[in-house]
A and B are shown apart, each in its own frame.
Chain A
Amino acid sequence: MQPDWPAEVHRELAAAGVRLVGYVPDAGHKRLIELCQADAAMRAVVLTTEEEGIGLAAGAWLGGEKAALLMQSSGVGNLINVLGMVKVCRFPLVMIVTMRGEQGEFNPWQVPMGEATARVLQTMGVAVRQAGEAQAVAAHVRAALARAYEAQGAEAVLVAQRVVGIKSFQEQANQ
């Protein structure tokens, strides 16, 4: 049986004391977003674009609280310039990115950004952890949270498209 990775990730975020969860929706994040919204100790903040999440997380840390961001890989392209602030200030940052443009992609327009996601993040100083299997996601998130908040690092966990497993517009609509 597939592990319930969204529930496991939610437990990791809760255990680490994450209070703000910024997100731009993605079908692959649907359940994790709902778990965060239902958690009275967390505030889920819907964003108009992923870069707002960088400001949100930076402000939260200035105020002494931890944040995490949920987005899909196309959103990583929206982050590039503002990641400069994360690097210069060494703001702790944890992003959980569901991948598009990989195995099972039904929209070829998602492919270029999907192919570039890991390199874009690394180029801007974000450590990348690739979760290729559902079993691996929560452990990567735990490690990312520890490094981000103990050593003021920027971390992204990339959840492979085959873990998310959505293969058609119809399936996405039926989520």
Chain B
Amino acid sequence: MKPSLRRRNVVKKMLSNRNDLLVVAGLGSTSWDITAAGDSPLSFPIWGAMGQAAMIGLGLALARPERRVLVVTGDGEMLMGLGSLATIGVQRPANLTVVVIDNERYGETGMQATHTARGVDLAAVAKACGFRNSQIISSGKKISQLVKIIQQTAGPNFAQVKVKVEQVPLVLPPKDGVLLKARFRRALLGDSADVLPQEV
């Protein structure tokens, strides 16, 4: 059965009432997806460092346990950082959700098939690594539940959302890494973002 979910709709729904949610998006299509849903200083789209989206989410979740953290990334990006699922499984941050938007393709490089097109089950990997909740989602009904999981459910949570293979318009976030870092810290930490934390 071919997936019917459309990536932009899924990501838009996940972020529609994001409130204080902190968002990290992986290199490529998912960074454009979160930007299409509405750029925010509390989003950190990654233009490089393929494989590190989930780990950036982990560092953020451990640093700010009182905030909910969402990592949105692609199947190719997640495959490059599979070990990070084991690392997250050991730390078990309750405030972290990782959502893989899985079109079974390397979307930025010519739509070559990824391992998930041949049956590699990322949700099963996450579960085996110790994620508290992990599922494959292929129907729109489950997306509302996913929004609730992202906002409320004790994690770490994982979802692999099967989406259609489609070309969508490029909606690009800022490329300046220093700007992306500084605006995120200011939005999260306020004035103290620019002040060195007090040494003990």
A residues bordering B, Cβ < 8 Å?
14-17, 19-20, 43, 45-49, 51-52, 54-67, 81-82, 84-85, 88-91, 149-150
Q: Given A17-B199, A88-B47, A48 and B64 touching (CB < 8 A)?
A: no
One of A57, A88, A89, A90 near B59 (C-beta < 8 A): A57
B193, A52: Cβ atoms closer than 8 Å: no
CB distance from B82 to the nearest CB of A (A): 8
A59, B60: Cβ atoms closer than 8 Å: yes
Q: Whole-angstrom distance between the alpha carbons of A48 and B185 in the complex?
A: 28
Which residues of the partner chain B approach A61 to less than 8 Å between Cβ atoms? Answer: 59, 63, 181, 185
Which residues of the partner chain A approach B199 to less than 8 Å between Cβ atoms? Answer: 15-17
Q: Report the nearest A residue to B53, measured CB to CB.
A: A55
B192, A64: Cβ atoms closer than 8 Å: yes
B59, A59: Cβ atoms closer than 8 Å: yes
Q: Given A55-B59, A63-B188, A48 and B181 touching (CB < 8 A)?
A: no
Which residues of the partner chain A approach B188 to less than 8 Å between Cβ atoms? Answer: 62-64
List 29 contacting pairs A-B, 8 Å CB cutoff, sorted by A.
Answer: A17-B197, A17-B198, A17-B200, A43-B91, A46-B87, A48-B83, A48-B87, A49-B83, A52-B52, A52-B83, A56-B55, A58-B56, A59-B56, A59-B63, A62-B44, A63-B62, A63-B67, A63-B188, A64-B64, A64-B193, A67-B59, A82-B48, A82-B49, A85-B48, A85-B49, A88-B177, A89-B178, A89-B181, A90-B181
